[in-house]
Chain A
Amino acid sequence: MGSGIFDIILEYINIVFLIFTIVLFSMFSIMGYLSTRNSIHYRNKNSFGDLSKIMASPLAPSITIIAPAYNEGLTIVENIRSLLSLQYVNYEVMVVNDGSKDDTLQKMITAYDLVQIKRPIDPNWKSKPIRGIYKSRHQSFSKLTVIDKENGGKSDALNTGIQLSDNQYVGCIDVDCLLLPQALLHVVKSFYQRAEKRVIAVGGVIRVANSCVIEGGVLEEIRLPKSLLAKFQLLEYTRSFILGRMAWGRIDSLLIISGAFGFFDREIALAVGGYDTNTVGEDMEIVFKMRRYMAERKLPYTVEYIPDPLCWTEVPEDLKILINQRDRWSRGNLETLYKHKDMFFNPKFGRLGMLSYPYWFFYEWMAPLLEFLGFFSILIFYYLGILNWDFFLAITCTVYMFSVMFSFYAILWDVYSYNEYTKTKDIITLMACALIEPFIFHPIVVYSSVRGNYKKLFKVQSGWGTITRKGFAKTA
């Protein structure tokens, strides 16, 4: 009797895993298709016209780039220089020094000849006190504004920037990111190209800058990262941005805009209260809020995604830092999903409630936990001697082959679309990484996710952690 029930449970588990795997495969296949369609459409649509012509148009909108800086003394001057050299006229660079303990502020003051200015600040705005607002004495740095405030975290710093900005759009980026000169032109086009819908946010691809040659804030040469961990991350980023987000963008169900390169309609961002300071997944949470805000008001809106490689950043090459980063991501994921749990299969929110949210719930949050659980189940089953070897090997091989194939497709599509890594050796290296990734890198990601969920569920205190930057000047 007992064994009968146990057998039934085992069967159900098998069925659940099978369905989960089939749905996953289906989803990934659809994503591959949608992303391909979207990429082709994007390429065709953007083949007519020259972006630079409208750079100084009287109708060009104003943009503020907000870059929070915390202990970024090593690279801050170079990074600001890069931000000030973008191809656009009507924009402002607002660096928010979030109570850095190092000489970040002093370096900025010295390098850009900053002086403190006075301007009214809304006393009702909830963010940490502002210690000073600085502008440069030099006309050549007139686009630069530096805000010095007490430490309150990245979200708080971004909120301060959004509040103090006067421009139509705000871009929230990581100050250590490198934006390509034409980045803002693409962003403006994305915001302006829709007539029937309001573009409330624009996200873009994040590229890996490790080992690239960057001089004077300009990307001189694109190279494959030397570190294996960085190579794995490059592969993961390619898969995620080229296929994943492109596909979600195609069906207007993009739920996350990377914190390293995200632009928002300031009016809507302010209307939803800016970033949530109580979560570490603020970049995902603000998109949830903005979408929700528009959906609740039944206003036509969309979130645009730019597949062009416009933003380059360093990824962690240290295992501990990587685990902390992924730990934080999973906690942020959980926090956001929990906060907006009423959207789960809620038709009121359309595709957002019926498709995007469930996908994130099952395949972004739950998948690592299921993998972790499945791994231990296999060990238990093997120990109990009830492991169905045929099924196990078949499904494992299928999953492995599918994931490798998906990675290959992402690599090849990236080569076809943007051809960033021109050397054959680099492509082969990436493909080799795709082969070994499920055995080396994926377990690390799963472990980090489980740890993050554990921390969150059992309320283990944990913050952002720190990422030690080498600095772009040294990346070569």
Chain B
Amino acid sequence: MISEFLFFEENATKIEQCDYINLKIEIRELIKDEFNRKVLSGILLDLQKDVSGITKKRVFKLYQELGLQEDAYAKLKSWRWEVVSQGILELTQMQVTEAYGFITKFINDKRGVIRKQAEIATVTLKHEGINYFLDSTTCKISEWQQLKLLDVIRNLEGFQPPKFKAWLTSGNSYVVLFALRLIKYYNQNDAYSSIIELVKHSNNQIKAEAIGCIREFNILEARDTLKLVFYKCTTDSKLLILDTLAIFGQREDISFLQMIENKETNFSVKSKALSAINAIHPESIMPTEGIQHISTNQIPDIILTMPEETIGQNISAEKQSLVVEAPEETNEPSEMLLNYDLEASQVREGCIDSGKEEILEFNFLPFVIENETEFQGVLNSEVIFEEIQGAEILNELEEVSDITKVDGYKLLDFDFIPFVYEDEKQIEKDQLQIKEEEIRSILVNYEQVDLTIAVPDEINSSINEDINTVLKSEEKDEVHISSTLEEQEDKGFQIPPPCFVHDLSVTASMEDFLDKPLSNVELLEAIEEFGDKREIPLLEEMRDDEEMEDFRTQILGLIERFSDKNSPLKKDPITTENTAELYSVFEEFFQKYDTDSKVLLLEEIAFVGDEKELYFLSKLISDSELRIRECAKRVHQELKKRLESDKNDQSENKEDQFNLKEVNESGSTTTSYINEVDIAIGNEIASALKENTKKSSDLIPLEFCFLLNQLEIKEPKNKSIFEVDFELETNIYEPRKEESHLNTKWEVGISKNEDYSPDSLSSNCAKSKNKRNG
């Protein structure tokens, strides 16, 4: 029945409207009975909790249309508090705003439950109810009641909170307290002075709430008042004040906080004061627990008198615990850091006053050892530095590498240590004085050089090879490197001046090696063995650059030999001597087929022929048939042009020869390029060095720099080979434009002759002929 009312629509049919009116009459009849009225009131009160929106409003409307609020009004007159409360509750829940005036009478009722219910009703029924309540209440407002009132206000639709500062002057301290809470909740920051004044209130709750507002609104002006009232506060209020000062206190407040820390007996307050000091001025209060009192920074006697072994062990143990978590027993080299302080200037000067016991810091040098026992030996050894000539560095490195073989110590290579130069001028000063003849005698046999500083081991391995090669070719050692393990006192090494040599990424191409000829015995031998007149320009360039007389003589001899037309190495593909090799497959067909077929074949030769066909065509030019002669002449010219074009392409492709071996291994068909190349890495390294000295973020190994300097390696003339977009591989694997163009043509030709065998060719020619004939 109730749902009929609730869900009745105004635009219903006439019959439905009649039913609705009849239903209303029926209900009115029913609610004449008191019990029915109670039941209906109860149902509507429950229902309004479960519905919302328009339906809820219809419930309210129905409640009032049926006059059920009259019963609630009657309850207000009851002498029983629970009945009055029930009446107020019903009127509040059913939003009977007309009851507002009746309910406000109970706002100061002596019966607590009625009073509280009236307070809630007053605030709920009208938005201005909160004003009336705060104005007129003379009773205490419990915390629970405040909490409920705030909950009601929060859920009021379209509620515009009044300026609650008006009630800060109320005579009812509970009103003041509630107003403070409302001010804080609604962020009404327009009552600073009143709030500051309320900090002095005798009621601890008001005081605490005022402090809370001060903290919330960052009222800096309240600092003095807070300090003033501090000692009269309870512990909780003191903690609140200290919390507040911690947030916006200033340096001048620190003395006050320190005084609290000194005078206050309560641990929590003292602790909070210290916390506030640190909040205002961080790290004013330092940790005290577990801190050892050390009066001087001198090394304790016990350490000075400690045996070196013990010190070493201590360092080792400490560093192990701090830096390296190495397994106890491992065959892998462990990397450890020494912690010695060494002034760079002292090192540069080449000597260290032995009288002063300086703690040197070597923590930039990773020492790699095989096991801990050996490392102890290293630690126990005394390292003495002495000035050495820069040119001696190679021998130093060799000796250092030899250290791995002596006296049971298996120190690994130091060649990964980044040596640092300070400036380039210094590098030039320290360039090694090695004779050019000796340098040129270095034999380096590389097919590909790929050096990347990011992977130092690779560089090191290649550099070590170079160094060893150089050193093997040296007969005299100018460099003397001391053994840091055995001959500690007399020998040492000098750390060269720092050099900012950076990111080195080298990918050398064959073109670079060819364009920048190095005197190389193996290269000359290779040219002598496999070269022809095409190597003449290279040899001439080498001749110009070469200073060694022997090599010049050898180069000149080769030039002369290749220039000689009778030279056996002179490979002219169309010479009569090579006739047997230049036999064209087309000759056979020309002997069998008719003229038309011959012309067709000639057309094909233009696309598929090579040097053999040129010779064959030259013969046909003098053929008896005019048609054949003319066609042969034309095809000869076309073929010649094409072959020349191919030749040019091949010469251009020589720059790709560097990766030839790689390509061959991968099954590429471009096997006709260069088979094996002897390359010296000098130019590439030099260019890499020059290129990368421009950057200042990374370093390369020092010995690598020295090697480059020794070799006088300079940057190559052409475009840097270190560029990231160097397209060597792309050219190898992907046909160039010209090639693709040719290939396109080639494919066209092939498409005409699906099978390129002589038989198929002939058959295709026959087909063509038939078509033409047809």
Binding site for B on A (CB under 8 A): 44-45, 48-49, 53-54, 57-61, 120, 122-125, 188-189, 191-196, 267
Contact = CB atoms under 8 A, between A and B. Distances in A.
A91 B147 CA distance: 17
Interface stretch (B136-144, B429-437, B555-563): B136-144
Given A58-B185, A122-B268, A195 B147 contact: no
Interface centre among A48, A54, A58, A61 (most CB of B within 10 A): A48
24 contacts: A44-B85, A44-B113, A45-B113, A48-B85, A48-B113, A48-B117, A54-B147, A54-B148, A54-B151, A59-B143, A59-B147, A59-B150, A59-B181, A60-B147, A120-B271, A124-B267, A188-B144, A189-B144, A192-B142, A192-B147, A193-B144, A194-B142, A195-B139, A196-B140
Contacts of A122: 267-268
Interface in B236-272: 236, 267-268, 271
A238 B80 CA distance: 30
Contacts of B268: 122
Contacts of A57: 147, 150-151
Given A58-B150, A59-B181, A192 B143 contact: yes
A191 B143 CA distance: 9
B151 A53 contact: yes
A415 B477 CA distance: 110
B468 interface: no
For the complex of A and B, 5 pairs with smallest distance between CB atoms? A195-B140, A122-B267, A195-B142, A192-B144, A192-B143
B236 A267 contact: yes
Contacts of B123: none
Dominant SS among interface residues on chain A: loop
Interface in B99-121: 113, 117
Contact of B89 (A48, A53, A58, A59): A48
B146 interface: yes
B525 interface: no
Contacts of A123: 267
Nearest to B145: A195
B587 interface: no
B82 A195 contact: no
Interface residues of B, number: 26
Given A44-B82, A122-B268, A192-B143, 6 more contacts: A44-B113, A54-B151, A120-B267, A191-B143, A195-B139, A267-B234
A54 B145 CA distance: 11
Contacts of A120: 267, 271
Contacts of B143: 59, 61, 191-193, 195
Contacts of A53: 151
A57 B147 CA distance: 7
Interface centre among A44, A49, A193, A195 (most CB of B within 10 A): A195
Contacts, number: 54
A195 B177 CA distance: 12
B658 interface: no
A72 B160 CA distance: 54
A12 B143 CA distance: 55
Contacts of B185: 58
Contacts of A194: 142
A49 B148 contact: yes
A310 B147 CA distance: 22
A53 B234 CA distance: 32
Interface centre among B142, B143, B267 (most CB of A within 10 A): B143
Given A120-B271, A122-B268, A123-B267, A59 B140 contact: no
Nearest to B272: A120
Contacts of B704: none
B174 interface: yes
A325 to B, nearest CB: 36
Contacts of B113: 44-45, 48
Contacts of A54: 147-148, 151
A189 B146 CA distance: 12
A439 B456 CA distance: 95
Interface in B218-245: 234-236
Contacts of A192: 142-144, 147
Nearest to B143: A192
A365 B181 CA distance: 48
Nearest to A44: B82
A58 B212 CA distance: 13
A253 B341 CA distance: 78
Contacts of A48: 85, 89, 113, 117
B239 to A, nearest CB: 9
Nearest to A61: B143
Nearest to B149: A59
Contacts of B82: 44
B291 to A, nearest CB: 15
Nearest to A124: B267
Nearest to B81: A44
A290 B343 CA distance: 72
Nearest to B150: A59
A267 B237 CA distance: 12
A195 B173 CA distance: 12
B591 to A, nearest CB: 95
A54 B149 CA distance: 10
A184 to B, nearest CB: 14
Interface in B118-164: 139-148, 150-151
Contacts of B235: 267
A60 B151 CA distance: 11
A304 to B, nearest CB: 12
Interface in B147-203: 147-148, 150-151, 174, 181, 185
Nearest to B93: A48
A389 B538 CA distance: 145
A53 B49 CA distance: 14
Contacts of A125: 267
Nearest to A196: B140
A272 to B, nearest CB: 14
A123 B267 CA distance: 8
A61 B181 CA distance: 13
A53 B174 CA distance: 22
Contacts of B140: 195-196
A54 B142 CA distance: 14
Interface string B618-635: 000000000000000000
Contacts of A58: 150, 185
Interface in B56-108: 82, 85, 89
Contacts of B151: 53-54, 57
B274 to A, nearest CB: 9
A59 B209 CA distance: 11
A127 to B, nearest CB: 13
B148 to A, nearest CB: 7
A195 B148 contact: no
Contacts of A59: 143, 146-147, 150, 181
Contacts of A45: 113
Interface centre among B85, B89, B139, B148 (most CB of A within 10 A): B148
A48 B146 CA distance: 15
Contacts of B236: 267
B351 to A, nearest CB: 51
A58 B143 CA distance: 12
Contacts of B150: 57-59
A445 B140 CA distance: 46
A189 B150 CA distance: 15
B134 to A, nearest CB: 15
A397 to B, nearest CB: 40
Contacts of B117: 48
A63 to B, nearest CB: 14
A194 B139 CA distance: 12
A301 to B, nearest CB: 14
A124 to B, nearest CB: 6
Nearest to A118: B289
A188 B235 CA distance: 22
Contacts of B174: 195
A59 B141 CA distance: 14
A45 B111 CA distance: 12
